Amino acid sequence: MKRAFLILLGCFALGHATAQELLCPGTGIPMSRDPGCMTPNYNNTPPPVPQQPAGEWITRWGAIGGNAPKGILGVSTGMPTEQAAIQAALADCRSKGGGSGCKLDISYYNQCAVLVTGNKLYNTSSAATVEQAAAKSLAVCQKADVNCRVHYSACSLPEFVRP
């Protein structure tokens, strides 16, 4: 009887000591046995907010131009200004033999653009994604032409620049 009492007393003491140990929130595993457990926040202070990296988003421009009668395409992407994008696209067209017949079709910024061609016509559009721009231009083409397809696509997305 004395022996049973000692065993019962030992179990109670062991259970009482374990109940006093802090448990990890969410898992219920004692903190001393869970290396991934964080110490409880007794001050009720909010956790630190992650800092936004220093820097800023810079607009980037693109343009599509060409000499339609000669079938020459000129393009630019990732340019710092609209004027720089237009000049680069027209220079690209001229360098391929478009000469003074090179004309701007579209300039765009922080998005994507496509040039869609059919058997007789072509058109350009821009949107947040290539898929959205293509859907717009393909719909226009299919109303007036056949064999419409995306001939060119590119994006000129904003760039995050750190100081």
Which whole number is the average pLDDT over 138-143? 98
Look at residue 62 and tell me whether its pLDDT is greater than 90.
yes
Q: Is residue 52 part of a domain?
A: no
Q: Is residue 47 part of a domain?
A: no
pTM above 0.95, yes or no: no
Domain that holds residue 72: 57-158
Q: Is residue 92 part of a domain?
A: yes
Amino acid 53 reads P
More confident residue, 14 or 101: 101
Q: Is residue 149 part of a domain?
A: yes
More confident residue, 26 or 64: 64
More confident residue, 4 or 102: 102
Q: What percent of the chain has pLDDT over 90?
A: 66
Per-chain mean pLDDT for the chain: 85
Q: Is residue 26 part of a domain?
A: no
Which whole number is the average pLDDT over 14-27? 58
Total domain count, the chain:
1
Look at residue 57 and tell me whether its pLDDT is greater than 50.
yes
Beta-strand ranges (E) seen in 9-158 are: 56-58, 61-67, 72-79, 103-109, 111-117, 122-127, 149-156
Q: Is residue 11 part of a domain?
A: no
Phi-psi region of 68 (alpha: psi -120 to 50; beta: other; left: phi over 0): alpha
pLDDT band for position 43 (50/70/90)?
Answer: low
pLDDT band for position 49 (50/70/90)?
Answer: confident
Specify the pLDDT at position 4. Answer: 47
Q: What percent of the chain has pLDDT over 70?
A: 72
Which whole number is the average pLDDT over 145-158? 98
Specify the pLDDT at position 53. Answer: 84
27 alpha carbon, distance to own chain's centre:
34
Q: Is residue 45 part of a domain?
A: no
